[in-house]
Structure 1
Amino acid sequence: MADPFTLPLWLYPALTGTAALTGMVDAIAGGGGLIMLPALLYAGLPPHMVLGTNKVQSMCGTAMATWRYWRAGLFSARAGLPLALAALFGAAGGALLVQRIDAAVLRLVVPLLLMAVALYTVLSPRMGDEDAHPKLSARGYVPVAGSIGFYDGFFGPGAGQFYSVSLVGLRGLGLTRATGLTKLLNLSSNFASGVVFAIGGQVLWLLALCMALGAVAGATVGSHFATRHGARLIRPLLVTVSLALTGKLVWSWFTG
């Protein structure tokens, strides 16, 4: 078990560089945890410290991406506030509950959900940047945002993909606009679960702050490319991340 005061010094720049890569991936399509969580586990951190430390650095990177998408005019903070609050409270509840409930069932179900996300992204003709007729109103989407937020706090992998795909499919947003609003919702759920982990003493702060610098740099680059190139960049990366995350979760399930 790693101790924050005895971590080899080389791990700090190595994990900061890894955080830059995950911040870029997260800013474009989500799923950076597919890279970051195994890296932290390989570094020797205990699992609960991995989750808490990752949430802090991820929150910082997501904050930068959120700001860049907002500056590009891809979502309205005022209109998105009710959804962000639903995600925040949902994530707080999920992070509290995960400490009491075995997540083994989710580990079986989530790969199937992620595969569905990837297939929807590939097959749906509406995963471009054109807005479509919404199936749910903004108010009707609030429970969906809260449920995905709860999942993000409880388990986490693929939450960004679930936000993006549901905003396209249910709210009729174009993919780039959906990705922008996803960052706001992800920021809310990361913040809530990060606070819960921090209160529980599950964050290695020096490492988390170093990684946060990398995540912010990566998110700056990723959001720049995403806002310039739109769906033709986001769509293939969203599919790739969904399939990779699905494969990893299936492999983890069958290897115990």
Structure 2
Amino acid sequence: MLDQFILFVISFIANTLSSLAGGGAGLLQLPALIFLGLPFSIALGTHKIASVALGLGASIKHLKHGQFKFALIITLLISAIPGVILGANIILNISPFIAMTALGTLTILLGIYSILKPQLGIEDTEKNRHLQGYLVGGFGLFIIAILNGSLTSGTGLFVTMWLIHWFGLSYGKAVSYTLIMVGIIWNGMGAATLAMLTEIKWNWLPALLLGSLIGGYVGAHLVIAKGNKLVKRAFEVMTILAGLALWYKAFN
């Protein structure tokens, strides 16, 4: 029971912050599962399944308030299908040290980029909403989807930034797309793929799922209530912390 309570608290905190910032739940949740005794591959598969509840919790709030563009939703879906499945197969065959070191560096640079662009994502500015723009944007999302399928820590943050940078979304809108599409669809496909490739710690999932569901709802509420400036700051903090956590895991 103590382990279940610890798992719930960690999951709630991690997913509240992730829902607010648009990614990064693996910053706390994945290392916690490894610390509690799970091998990397089992921890990854278990975390991936639990992270689907983050999208479900956030969607309860965002679907009531968000105005979603059909073309963007289709782009996210089409980009995800091959990328996530490919990434989930790749991760079990490459060195975690190489993957986590590279991803940690990129994640930190993402946070620094946002800090150096103070007006980035504060207002909606429609960009690249044409066929060529969607094709290029979709290819960028495909590359991120490979990372999402292989390493969960921080990849939602990349989707959030890509939607802001390429399509001109505000932080609040980008986070809503990330949590609903990535949290449910991308992570759902990754979870299904990993469940077929590795063992899952099923008896730990109830506490993780509950924490993810409630945390996703609370974070989405804060996004809607507090606006883009708070989300931008949360994004910057989460990217840098996620990158440092990945470095730590790589070298220990």
Distance 2:71 2:174 in 1: 15
Q: Is the 8 A contact 1:90 1:189 kept in 2?
A: no
What is the CA deviation profile of residues 123-173 of structure 1, one whole-angstrom value per residue up to 9, with x for unaligned ones? 114423312242472333111111111111122222111111111111111
One-letter amino acid of the counterpart of residue 245, structure 1: A
2:88 to 81, 91, 95: 95
In the alignment, structure 1 residue 246 sits paired with structure 2 residue 249: no
1:163 to 159, 163, 181: 159
Aligned to 2:147: 151
**Higher-RCO chain (CA-CA 8 Å, sequence separation at least 6):** 2
Distance 2:229 2:148 in 1: 26
Q: How far off its partner does 1:236 sit? A: 1.1
1:9-158 aligned within 5 A: 9-29=1-21, 30-76=23-69, 79-135=72-128, 137-158=133-154
Distance 2:35 2:24 in 1: 18
Q: Is the 8 A contact 1:86 1:145 kept in 2?
A: yes
Distance 1:71 1:224 in 2: 11
Distance 1:228 1:175 in 2: 13
Distance 1:152 1:132 in 2: 26
Higher helix proportion, which one? 2
Distance 1:220 1:202 in 2: 29
1:197-216 aligned within 5 A: 197-216=194-213
Distance 1:239 1:192 in 2: 27
1:184 to 173, 180, 184: 180
Distance 1:129 1:119 in 2: 16
Q: Is the 8 A contact 2:128 2:134 kept in 1?
A: no
Q: TM-score, normalised to structure 1's length?
A: 0.89
- Describe the shift of the 1:81–1:66 C-alpha distance in structure 2 as closer, same or farther (beyond 3 A): farther
One-letter amino acid of the counterpart of residue 226, structure 1: V
Instruction: Name the SS of the counterpart of 1:236 in structure 2.
Output: helix
Q: Count residues with an aligned counterpart.
A: 247
- Describe the shift of the 1:150–1:185 C-alpha distance in structure 2 as closer, same or farther (beyond 3 A): farther
Distance 2:55 2:126 in 1: 28
Percent identity between matched residues is 23
One-letter amino acid of the counterpart of residue 211, structure 1: L
Distance 1:95 1:201 in 2: 10
Instruction: Name the SS of the counterpart of 2:24 in structure 1.
Output: coil
In the alignment, structure 1 residue 224 sits paired with structure 2 residue 217: no
Q: How far off its partner does 1:195 sit? A: 0.3
Distance 2:20 2:5 in 1: 23
Q: How far off its partner does 1:53 sit? A: 0.8
Please give the root-mean-square deviation of Cα atoms over the aligned residues, in Å.
1.9
Aligned to 1:6: none
One-letter amino acid of the counterpart of residue 232, structure 1: K
| Runs of 5+ unmatched residues, structure 2 | none
| Runs of 5+ unmatched residues, structure 1 | 1-8
One-letter amino acid of the counterpart of residue 61, structure 1: L
